[in-house]
Amino acid sequence: MPIATPKQYRQMLDSAQKGGYAYPAINITSLTTANGALKAFADSNSDGIIQLSSGGGQFASGLAVNDAAFGSIVLAEAVHRLAEKYDVLIALHTDHCHPGKVDSFLRPLLDESKRRKENGQGPLFQSHMLDASELPLEENMALSVKIMKECVDLDIILEVEAGVVGGEEDGHDTSGLPAEKLYTTPEDMMTVYETLNPLGRFMFAATFGNVHGSYKPGSVKLTPTILRDGQKAVMDKHGEEAEMDLVFHGGSGSSIDELRETLDYGVIKMNIDTDTQYAFTRPVVTHICENIEGVLKIEEEVGNKKVYDPRSYLKKAEQSLCDRLKRACDDLLSTGKSIYQS
């Protein structure tokens, strides 16, 4: 199946909202991680979201090019082709883009989607994230409105953030901010809804104590009821149809009960990166340790090409990432719920 059309993407989000489940949204940095993600969604019969950060795009472009937007375009185009081989729907998304990177990262991607649309194709990405949470809410919304209008013209959904996801990951570092910044208020959620809803559909990364990075289970103190209370305030004023599509960032260290509680409050997308990074790297370490004499040319020996061939360990890494993402599909209840009809 080719990448989801804008209409199919909206149907995916509708299905998750009505069905009480969420899509894992996995960050990729290479063809190997992309293939692992595609295999996981297909094995799970789950539709899913594959996303790129500016750092991931920069890495994908190579050391000589070092261009986040260009690398993201290259990988996105590859995923468009690879997705044709799978019988699930896949959407492409970009992760945190801060105000200072709008012109260098987000706008070139919008320009590429505009070029594709002019050629009779769908947009390159189905959604983008503008993370202007570092700004006061009024300035955040002003910039969000400006970018959302551009996205709406291209049939692209914009994800925004109000409140701040804590921790540090892939260039997103909010570790020095005070704790109260980690919690979105019902008033914030009302402002976001009333500002953006007149323009079209959007996704909202409201924050409830969640943090980026790696943590032991139970060590992250979440308050999912913040999402419940904010949604209730909005729906009490604007009706049941005003329920927002919420996004959960920073899920590492959260209990399964906390993850699933957020589904009751409108979370339809949960980002996953730290856990799949570890899942990818762990078998590589094991392979190197178990085959150290073959991997290294020790004391002028020739080594063993079969074990230092990158394919020998990257296949293991791809499968391990796949297995971890399948677990995320189970945790978020998307397994077996693809809406794709062959």
Integer Rg of the chain from CA: 20
| Three-class secondary structure of residue 328 per DSSP | helix
Instruction: Write down the number of H helices and E strands in the chain.
Output: 13, 10
Q: Is 103 a catalytic site residue? A: no
270, 283, 302 from 294: Cα distances, Å: 40, 16, 8
At 290, the amino acid letter reads E
DSSP 121: P
Looking at 47, 95, 273, 275, which residue is catalytic?
A: 95
| Three-class secondary structure of residue 225 per DSSP | helix
Residue 230 zone, left/alpha/beta (φ > 0; ψ -120 to 50; rest): alpha
Task: Provide the 10 A C-beta neighbour count for residue 255.
Answer: 12
Exposure string for 14-43, b = 16+ CB within 10 A, e = fewer:
ebbbeeebbbbbbbbbbbbbbbbbbbbbbb
What is the spatial distance between Cα 164 and Cα 210, in angstroms, rounded to a whole number? 9
Q: Beta 157-162 vs 202-206: how paired, if at all?
A: parallel
What is the spatial distance between Cα 205 and Cα 12, in angstroms, rounded to a whole number? 18
| CA 46 centroid distance within chain | 15
What is the spatial distance between Cα 165 and Cα 183, in angstroms, rounded to a whole number? 8
Q: Beta 172-173 vs 168-169: how paired, if at all?
A: antiparallel
Q: Beta 267-272 vs 23-27: how paired, if at all?
A: parallel
What is the spatial distance between Cα 49 and Cα 90, in angstroms, rounded to a whole number? 6
At 339, the amino acid letter reads I
Q: Find out whether 3 and 50 touch, Cβ atoms under 8 Å.
A: no
DSSP 187: H
Active site residues: 95
